[in-house]
Amino acid sequence: MEKAESDVDLSPNAATVLEKRYLKKNEEGKVIETPSDLFRRVARHVAAADAGYGKPEVWVQQIEQEFYELMTSFAFLPNSPTLMNAGRRLGQLSACFVLPVDDSMESIFDGVKYAAIIHKSGGGTGFSFSRLRPKGDVVGSTKGISSGPISFMTVFDTATEAVKQGGTRRGANMGILRVDHPDILDFITCKDHNSRLNNFNISVGLTEAFMKAVEDNGEYELLNPRTKNVAGKIGARQVFDKIVNQAWKNGEPGIVFLDRINASNPTPALGEIESTNPCGEQPLMPFESCNLGSINLSKMIQRNQDGKAEVDWQRLKDTAWKAVHFLDNVIDVNKYPLQMIDETTKSNRKIGLGVMGWADMLIQLRVPYGSEDAIKLAEKLMGFIQTESRLASCVLAEERGVFPNYENSIYNGEMAVRNATVTTIAPTGTLSIIAGCSSGIEPLFAVSFVRNVMEGTKMIEVNSYFEKEAKDAGLWSREIMERVAEIGSVAHFNEFPEDMRNIFVTAHDITPTDHIKMQSAFQKYIDNAVSKTVNFAHEATTKDVEEAYILAHKLGCKGVTVYRDGSREEQVLSTKKAEEKPQHDTRARIVPKKRPAVIKGTTRLIKTGCGNLYVTINEDENGKPFEVFTNIGKAGGCVASQAEAIGRLISLGLRAEIEPDEIVKQLKGISCHQPEWYEGGRVLSCSDAIAKAIEKYAHRHEKGDNGNGKSKNGAVMQIGACPECGGTVEHEGGCAVCHSCGFTKCG
């Protein structure tokens, strides 16, 4: 796509992400708008809400221009659904929703249906399964036995898998179970194998009573949610240790402190908050949604008379006020996927203004991320944003009125506000790529890293601040940066002075304690919660994870997500090893199975840059892929012969019992000079098309499981490789994101 003369200034990576995920496309998948068109479309649609409050056309046009400049300067960006859908037919602008799941078949399957509708529209969903009766409990209507909440979670997971195949954003769920539910031990280990619940993040809802029992090494009561009676007692330490061990093992479950969340519930008269959105930063009532956006702190810097960098407090204030106005407007122009969500969202008008580019701000200010100065600045900065955002909401209340549930809120009689909440720290994976800044409040994910580009070429990406400083100091060399890219960090490179190594720290250079302290510093001035990953080195112990959890509770965090480097890779390896068949003698030849006389299969058409490619996949008597034939339309010569050769080699591999996933991983992402858009996705080459055909065949026939107990999408994610470009997936902001192509597990 050629860059228009008036288009916004984007990095190559940002341009790629916008083209792939955000820009409007026609029915053939061709991009039909520029980045500036996108931001103008969003600004015009969101500003139109002002007309509904009696503002004249000239005013609305002025607000449109303010919103446009706000986004194209990258001082602020709204959440992804707003960028994707504002001013378009779908019109669904919210990122996060919470749906109720009550203890009845009607409620459970209503939840499945509602979640599918939301996922189709580009949103993520959170559920509390704590109201469902435990496994083995009586079912009154049939006198049967309940299968319990975990079995129903698999129903939600399967529905998400089916819906997400055709979406621009992947469906994502949060599943929460209270720690006092009788099935809590099964829930803690429900993602022990990577073949299960891959469309869910899971968190245990901890109570203050439970944390006190952990401290006292005592027991606590398990409660049957159907009868409200005590179902037994269990040692708090036993449960806590199991949570810690699982989180150490593969990063899940996370924890949320439910009592602490409800202590800051702005509308307690309406009921308790039981769940959050998929990344945990947005506690919501049933049928609530929230519109999020982030201020780019890397832009909130000015130079004083001495040339020293300092926070531009005036610009930060102006940006916060405009962002609150923007997000409040989004509530009005949003097309909600369900009428109940429309009504509930507008009754409380929650917004979540957060930040990104925090690490970049600290670098410019020459403040080390893990220092006490950084903690103090975090509190001052977020306190300032919270105060200004609340004041902006008060002014909107004077002009437009308070939110309808105001009388049932903690603000009643104290302060007239437009929005029940105003601040949230959300993940900003793809948004920060577009804005060219660091993600959320995380440290840098890498000083230098390898990015996959077209035709299999790998580029060395270097943090722009580090590159300038290294060059200015005469310390730059391509050879050094290639070495740095292998590990991402400069912490142990003595070629650079100590002050540079202290300033340019990455997530794995920071201690877990410093991660928790930073999260806590921001949480003090956040209405909702903070999405952040606490990174651990691979060598970390379960005791280290336990201490982080205890510290997070002590310092006032509302939840914690941890990730021990390499833990999920290790889990996949151990799972595969446990499930491996007995190995043949290494000296023996692998003999492909013979082809039967009659075999059945299906043919799929995929458009490629070389023409229509027909991929026929035949299966064996067990329903597993057995051979592949290809036909490349009217094309001949090298194209047809190479496609035929690929098909023969794949068939040989399949008949030798090589898993289809392994073949897909080798072929998917290979690029040629003529990529093509087809069915809402990009087909990079004939090899890529064949891989996609095999993958879709497997999804259709194996219902999300590839035959060896390993989910295709889930496993690729778990081993740290991006399923779309093969780049490295980083765990940050309570989510997982690929900085090469913008893929994110959380949608």
Residue with the two structure tokens 């006490």: 372
CA-based nearest residue to 712, from 625, 606, 609? 625
Cβ pair 10, 19 in contact under 8 A: no
pLDDT digits (tens, 9 = 90+) for 358-417: 999 999 999 999 999 999 999 999 999 999 999 999 999 999 999 999 999 999 999 999
Class of domain 96-158+167-276: alpha beta
Where is average pLDDT lowest: 98-112, 217-231, 684-698, 728-742?
728-742
Q: What pLDDT was estimated at residue 575?
A: 33
Most confident of the following: 322-326, 428-432, 536-540: 322-326
Give the residue ranges of DSSP H helices in 349-490.
358-365, 372-400, 429-435, 464-472, 478-487
pLDDT score for 452: 63
| Residue 282: partners with Cβ closer than 8 Å, 6 or more residues away | 96, 126, 276, 290, 292, 352, 424, 426, 528, 529
Cα angle 560, 562, 566 (rounded to 5 degrees) comes to 170
- Confidence band (pLDDT; 50, 70, 90) for 705? very low
Residue 516 near residue 557 (C-beta atoms within 8 A): yes
Terminal C-alpha separation, the chain: 24
Contact status, residue 349 vs residue 331, Cβ threshold 8 Å: yes
Give the Å distances, CA to CA, from 575 to 29, 580, 597, 695.
39, 9, 36, 22
Phi, psi of 631 (to 5 degrees): -145, 125
Residue range 266-293: mean pLDDT, rounded: 95
CA–CA dist 432, 429 (Å, integer): 6
Instruction: Give pLDDT, residue 684.
Output: 80
Pick the catalytic residue from 199, 252, 274, 279.
Answer: 279
Asked if the model's pLDDT at residue 190 lies above 60, the reply is yes
Q: Transcribe 286-314 into DSSP letters.
A: TT-EEEEEEEEGGGSEEE-TTS-EEE-HH
- 78 close to 42: Cβ distance less than 8 angstroms: yes
Q: Which CATH architecture has domain 600-656+660-707?
A: 2-Layer Sandwich (3.30)
In this prediction, residues 475-496 reach a mean pLDDT of 90
Q: Helices in 49-104 by DSSP H: which ranges?
A: 57-72, 80-85
Q: Which of 442, 509, 443, 432 is nearest to 734 (CA)?
A: 442
What pTM was computed for the model?
A: 0.81
Q: Alpha-carbon distance 571 to 192, whole Å?
A: 8
Q: Can you give the length of the chain in residues?
A: 747
Predicted local distance difference test score (pLDDT) of residue 582: 41
Q: Which helix (H) or strand (E) holds 729?
A: strand 729-732
Distance of CA 546 to the CA centre of its chain: 25
Structure confidence by residue, pLDDT tens digits, 80-121: 999 999 999 999 999 889 999 999 999 999 999 999 999 888
Quick one: three-class SS letters along 233-289? EEEHHHHHHHHHHHHHHHCCCEEEEHHHHHHCCCCHHHCCCCEECCCCCCEECCCCE
Give CA–CA dist 244/552, Å, rounded: 13
- pLDDT reported for residue 708: 36
Do strands 283-284 and 230-235 pair parallel, antiparallel, or not at all (unpaired)? unpaired
Mean pLDDT of 546-571: 89
* pLDDT band at residue 699 under the 50/70/90 scheme: low
pLDDT band at 578 (very low <50, low <70, confident <90, very high): very low
Whether residue 438 has pLDDT greater than 90? yes
Cis status, amide bond into 253, omega within 30 of 0: yes
Residue 695 among the catalytic residues: no
- Whether 579 is catalytic is no
Q: Cα Rg for the chain, rounded, in angstroms?
A: 26
Closest among 604, 600, 686, 705 to 637, alpha carbons compared: 686
Phi, psi of 525 (to 5 degrees): -125, 35
Specify the pairing of strand 124-128 against strand 173-178. parallel
Amino acid letter for position 630? T
Q: Which of 408, 407, 404 is nearest to 419 (CA)?
A: 404
Q: What is the mean pLDDT of residues 419-447?
A: 94
pLDDT at 324 (0 to 100): 98
CB 472 within 8 A of CB 453: no
Q: Which two tokens stand for residue 205?
A: 């809802």
Assess whether pLDDT exceeds 90 at residue 240: yes
Active-site choice (64, 161, 252, 281): 281
Tell me, what amino acid is at 417?
V
Strand, helix or coil for residue 645: helix
Weakest mean pLDDT among 26-40, 458-472, 585-599? 585-599
- Cβ-in-10-Å burial (0-12, 13-18, 19+) of 148 comes to buried
- Cα–Cα–Cα angle for 416, 419, 424, rounded to 5 degrees: 130
CA 311-317-320 angle, to 5 degrees, is: 115
324 or 737: which carries more pLDDT confidence?
Answer: 324
Do the Cβ atoms of 622 and 597 come closer than 8 Å?
no
Residue in 13, 277, 296, 419 annotated catalytic: 277
pLDDT reported for residue 249: 93
C-alpha–C-alpha distance, residues 104 and 398, integer Å? 43
Query: Is the Cα dihedral 102, 108, 114, 119 positive or negative?
Result: positive
Find the angle CA(669)-CA(671)-CA(673) to the nearest 5 degrees: 160
On the CB side of 44, how many CA atoms lie within 13 Å of its CA?
9
Taking alpha carbons only, the member of 297, 333, 290 closest to residue 315 is: 297
| Share above pLDDT 90 across residues of the chain, in percent, rounded to a whole number | 63
Question: Do the Cβ atoms of 38 and 83 come closer than 8 Å?
Answer: yes
Q: Is residue 277 flagged as an active site residue?
A: yes
What's the CA gap between 145 and 379, in Å, rounded? 52
52: pLDDT strictly greater than 50: yes
Min mean pLDDT across 20-24, 107-111, 261-265, 563-567 is at: 563-567
In a 3-state reduction of DSSP, which class is residue 732?
strand
**What are the distances in angstroms from CA 271 to CA 263, 286, 656?**
12, 10, 59
Q: Above pLDDT 70, what percent of the chain? A: 87
Domain extents for the chain?
96-158+167-276, 600-656+660-707
HSE toward the beta carbon, residue 483, CA cutoff 13 A:
11
Count CB-CB contacts under 10 A for residue 57.
9
Determine the pLDDT at residue 666.
83
